[in-house]
Amino acid sequence: MSSTLLPHAAMSPAATYLCSGSGSGSGSGSGSGRRSSCSSAGSKRRSSWIRRSRAGGSWGHVDSLGTAADPSRLEVPAVHRRRRGDGQADSMGRMSPIEYVLQTRALTPDGYRSPSGRQSPDDLDGSRRLPLPVGPTVAVPAGADPDPRSCCGREDAVDGCGRRSWGDVLEDARLQAEGQARRRAYEVAERAAGRDADPEVSARLESGQDLYPNCHVHIWLRSCKEEVCQPLQGTVIGCIPRWIRGTLLRNGPGSLECGKDRFQHLFDGAALLQRFCIADGEVTYQSRFLRSQTWRRNAAAKRIVVTEFGTRAAPDPCQTIFKKVAAMFRPGEVMSDNAMISVYPVGDEFYAFTESPVMTRVDPVTLRTLERVNVASTLGIVNHTSHPLVQEDGSVVNLGMSLSATGPQYSLIHFPAPQPGEPARPMGCLPRTALVTRPAPCLSAGGAPLAAVEAGRLRGGVAARWPLHPGYMHSFGATASHFVLVEQPLSVSVPAMVRGQLSGEPLAASLRWFPEHPTLIHLVSRETGRRTHTFEADPFFFLHVINCFERPSLAGEESPAEPGEVIVDICCYKDPAMISCMYIDALQEAQKNPDYARLFRGRPLRFVLPLGGQDGGRVQPRPLCDLGCETPRLDPRLVSRPYRYFYAISADVDADNPGTLIKVDTWTGACATWGEAGLYPSEPIFLPRPDGQTEDDGVLLCALVWGDDDRRAGLLVVDAQAMVELGRAEFTAPSQVPKCLHGWFAPHVV
């Protein structure tokens, strides 16, 4: 018989009687008024519920010998006799079990405790919820309704008669118990940390309310089901300046699902390219998945067959231990090439980037995948960052890790500028002959990738401080004379990575955090490719360098040496806990995690490195502002040069409006913001006005998603000086639109 288990102690006196044997053990239902206990210590008798015949219309009991009792009548305590006056009790004051439960409820002011102090199943059916006590269980038929009364009009009614199922009752009790457990755990943790628990947080945890009601975390959990291959015309609100002409390319995780499998980390989702084409005040929208080798393999298998940053793939029975060992020497072919982080120009071509040594060339007009370039095979690197630096002359520099005789080395990779005779086009601008059509593929005679990629060369670097634990690097910086490499104490354990390669563990399992060691900031000469200085700072974690530049020493600064100083601005965190915050399970539980906002909290810091100081000197940063900032951008003409303003999106989950655009004045520390409730802009890309006179004279371009409408997408244009909206274009996509990560603006690509 199908049954549902219920705590024994939750039953009313009527239910207690129904699940007990007679006092003598004979199974007689004589109604003598004796009531044995439901179960005693060491008792081996079993009891179960059965539904007796429809004619009888009563509940019965069967003991372990199969003897049936007929408890259709039981003696009601004297205090409850003949209170209803409706003829339900017989001449002896006895009534049926259900009548007794109803009568008990009617006579008890709060209606939640029987006279014996037990909590009845019916008592749980009210508007107040009491936790079910833990105790022995008794089986109840799944189809049985322990409260078959007609009670229409109740506020908590579910069906037509206002009755609720046992499943609903138990679910309410479970949720309440979980809420109480969360509250207690939070208060204990706060006391252990020497802090007072926030009463509002405690109340929200216990009641199950969201801790961050203004933050729509689920915007990161969306999965695109249908691409937009043909341009979708947008509805323009306000004014899109007509001088803006080009394409805003965006990249990010587009789907967390693959067949019945689900990716476990935000950095694992299938790459989705999005395109906003802007011309003559109008905007169109397109989206298309990157057809990487990983995407094709997963799509063919209809499951996850390639291990990602935080997701372990399904094991391949055909992959022997020898093949796995051999694969470690071919990182570009074995590691996932799911380039879902960024998109950058190299020469006149655009490439999607991830941290594996593979670049995927894409068409900036149709978003088609064109070419897969394995940089490891030509340069011998193991990985590279997702954020190369595009130089003023059109050349591109990236930072990778290579293996040498002395161990891992952080190597600078240089991709040359366009050939002599061809004008330099910074910022990924294409030839003006390609205004309305896509550029012709730039291939070598043998069909090889673009010459600029082929001509990439290693140009010096720095040895890792720990041969078996090279640092994790997501971005780097540069000045006019130096490259800036920030070696944080978050490392990729080589032994763990080897074990993971053999066992199929994801890369995230190889990360190690060493908070007892400082962060090292290396300066590498642009001219020689050799390290010139190394500075120490307190340990911190980072993903994005804001900007770096050199300046003469200023009076009043800490180190007024004549050679000048290098300024390094970084979005910093105390530790790498925010990586764990981006696991899908963590995102789904973020609203119940009182530590989530704290773990994700970071601040932009400025480090001043005196070039005339002692090598290995220690530096202390100062905050640029007191707001969490991420995905920082600035005027592209001022990269590696002195600057004043940068722009970012909010990283404070508990802010009044987490979807805020931020403008930071690095001179004064002042901040200006733009925001709209329920609206989430992407990384802001600054476009200078053609005749602009000041550094912030231009606009910010951002892709938009809405917290309450998962099919709505948009392009936002904000005046960078006043931080006010100029206009936007809105689109309704055929399926969910996920939030993107990074992008690039390509002038004249329309």
CB atoms within 10 A of CB 237: 12
Range 315-330 average pLDDT: 57
Ranges assigned E (strand) in 8-144: 48-51, 59-62, 68-69, 74-75, 94-95, 137-141
Selection from 114-123, 134-143, 264-273 with the highest mean pLDDT: 264-273
Q: d(Cα 281, Cα 275) in Å, to the nearest integer? A: 16
Nearest CA among 527, 568, 530, 561 for reference residue 547: 568
Lowest mean pLDDT segment, chosen from 100-109, 178-187, 518-527, 620-629: 100-109
pLDDT over 70 (residue 364): yes
Per DSSP, what are the bridge partners of residue 570? 545, 605
The amino acid at residue 99 is E
Q: What is the secondary structure of 281-314 as a DSSP string?
A: TEEEEEEEE---HHHHHHHHHTS--S--SS-PPP
CA distances from 7 to 13, 45, 62, 115, 611 (A): 14, 17, 19, 19, 72
**Per-residue model confidence as pLDDT tens digits over 445-475:** 344 444 556 667 888 889 999 999 999 999 9
Encoding tokens for residue 237?
């609100």
Burial of 451 (0-12, 13-18, 19+ CB in 10 A): middle
Q: How far apart are CA 206 and CA 598, in angstroms?
A: 20
Do 187 and 202 contact (CB within 8 A), yes or no?
A: yes
Distance, in Å, from the CA atom of 559 to the CA atom of 311, rounded to the nearest integer, reads 47
Across the chain, mean pLDDT equals: 78
- Looking only at the bridges linking them, the beta strands covering 407-415 and 477-478 are unpaired
3-state DSSP call for residue 422? coil
In which element (H, E) is residue 247 found?
strand 246-255
517 annotated ligand-binding residue? no
Q: What's residue 465's pLDDT?
A: 95
How many whole angstroms from its chain centre is CA 482?
35
Strands 59-62 and 48-51, sheet pairing: antiparallel
Q: What is the pLDDT of residues 183-217, one digit of tens each?
A: 999 899 889 988 899 999 999 999 989 999 999 99
More confidently predicted of 74 and 416: 416
Distance CA 670, CA 367 (A): 39
| Cα–Cα distance measured from residue 78 to residue 325, given in angstroms and rounded to the nearest whole number | 82
What is the rounded CA–CA span in Å between residue 659 and residue 718?
Answer: 14
* pLDDT score of 161 more than 70: no
Cβ(312)–Cβ(504) under 8 Å? yes
**Cα separation of 201 and 219, whole Å?**
23
Residue range 5-31, pLDDT digits in tens? 333 333 433 333 334 344 434 344 444
Compute the distance between CA of residue 211 and CA of residue 591 in angstroms, rounded to an integer.
5
Please state, in angstroms and rounded to a whole number, the distance separating the CA atoms of residues 660 and 699: 16
Residues linked to residue 384 through DSSP beta bridges, in sequence order: 400
What value, to the nearest 5°, has the Cα angle with vertex 576 and ends 572 and 580? 130
Contact 76, 95 (CB under 8 A): yes
Nearest to 587 by CA among 369, 123, 269: 269
Q: What percent of the chain has pLDDT over 90?
A: 55
Q: What is the pLDDT of residues 84-114, one digit of tens each?
A: 444 444 545 555 544 444 444 443 334 334 4
If pLDDT is split at 50, 70 and 90, which confidence band does 417 have?
confident
In the block, which residue shows the tokens 């709060």? 110
Q: Which helix (H) or strand (E) holds 334?
A: helix 331-334
Using only C-alpha atoms, the chain has a radius of gyration, in whole angstroms, of: 34
pLDDT exceeds 90 at position 279: yes
Please give the structure tokens belonging to residue 512. 């190690």
Q: What angle do CA 292, 294, 298 make, to 5 degrees?
A: 120
Least confident of 68-77, 561-570, 596-605, 676-685: 68-77
Beta bridge partners of 675: 660
Count of CB atoms situated within 10 Å of the CB of 605: 20
* CA angle, 490 then 355 then 652, to 5°: 60
Distance CA 349, CA 439 (A): 8
Report the b/e string of 9-32 with b at 16+ CB within 10 A.
bbbbbbbbbbbbbbeeeebebeee
> pLDDT at residue 36 above 70?
no
Q: Which two tokens stand for residue 377?
A: 């095979």
- Of 285, 444, 229, 440, the residue nearest 349 (C-alpha): 440
User: Given a cut of 80, is residue 272 above it in pLDDT?
Assistant: yes
Whole-number Cα distances in Å, 41 to 10, 17, 47, 136, 504: 18, 17, 15, 11, 51
Is residue 699 pLDDT above 70, yes or no? Answer: yes
| Residue-level pLDDT at 572 | 98
Whole-angstrom CA distances from 170 to 156, 204, 279 are 15, 21, 58
Encode pLDDT of 419-451 as tens digits.
Answer: 655 544 444 443 322 223 333 334 433 444 445
Report CA 745 to chain centroid distance, whole Å.
25
As a whole number of angstroms, the distance between CA 452 and CA 342 comes to: 19
Find the DSSP H helices in 157-228: 166-192, 199-207
pLDDT confidence of residue 380? 84
Q: Say if residue 474 carries a ligand binding annotation.
A: yes
Tokens 């006019």 correspond to 480
Banded pLDDT at 163 (limits 50, 70, 90): low
